[in-house]
């Protein structure tokens, strides 16, 4: 069992909620495809990097898209949410954003201001404490 694969318990809960319309061509098992879809979603890897053990990547991608259009994912989330007694809160990167430099900011960081272009120098930045020293004539 891979890190992103469904456990037997999770599969028993999800299996009855999936569409069960056999088509003309026998299809790859839903559990294997779901494991592939979850692998891509959890790892953040592109579909082309899907490991072979999950079957053809086009099968996983096509089923993901088909189930999205048929609202299968919405029905799954509604059913799982309805069986949970507590409040469910979900946060993902589409709702929480931070600037790329937010992780490296120091506590009590300095504010950087541009130098006046009329001073005859090319545009550059310097910290607020340096600018205060420059104005006071100590530099």
- Is the alpha carbon torsion for 110, 116, 120, 124 positive or negative? positive
Residues 22 and 52 in one domain: yes
Looking at the fold, whether 76 and 107 belong to one and the same domain comes out as no
Q: Does residue 89 fall inside a structural domain?
A: no
Residue 34, in any domain of the structure:
yes
Is 27 a member of any domain? yes
Average pLDDT over residues 83-91: 63
79/114 same-domain check = no
Residues 77 and 125 in one domain: no
Residues of the domain holding 114: 103-135
42-65 burial string, b = 16+ CB within 10 Å, else e?
A: eeeeeeeebeeebbebebbbebbe
In the predicted structure, residue 17 carries a pLDDT above the cut 80? yes
Tens of pLDDT, residues 106-116: 666 565 555 55
Tell me the C-alpha distance between 114 and 116, whole Å: 6
Report the predicted TM-score, pTM, of the whole model to 2 decimal places.
0.58
Residue 26 lies in a domain: yes
* Tens digit of each residue's pLDDT (9 = 90 or more) over 20-46: 776 666 667 889 999 999 999 988 899
């Amino acid at each position: 069992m891979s890190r992103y694969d469904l456990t037997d318990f999770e599969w028993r809960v999800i299996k009855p909620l999936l569409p069960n319309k056999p088509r003309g061509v026998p299809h790859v098992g839903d559990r294997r495809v779901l494991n592939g879809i979850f692998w891509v979603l959890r790892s953040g890897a592109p579909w082309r990097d899907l490991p072979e053990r999950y079957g053809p990547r086009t099968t996983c991608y096509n089923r993901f898209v088909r189930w999205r259009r048929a609202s299968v994912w919405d029905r799954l989330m509604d059913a799982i949410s309805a069986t949970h007694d507590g409040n469910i809160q979900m946060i993902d990167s589409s709702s929480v954003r931070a600037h790329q430099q937010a992780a490296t900011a120091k506590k009590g960081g300095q504010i950087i201001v541009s130098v006046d272009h009329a001073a005859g120098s090319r545009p550059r930045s310097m910290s607020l404490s340096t600018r205060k020293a420059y104005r006071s004539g100590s530099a």
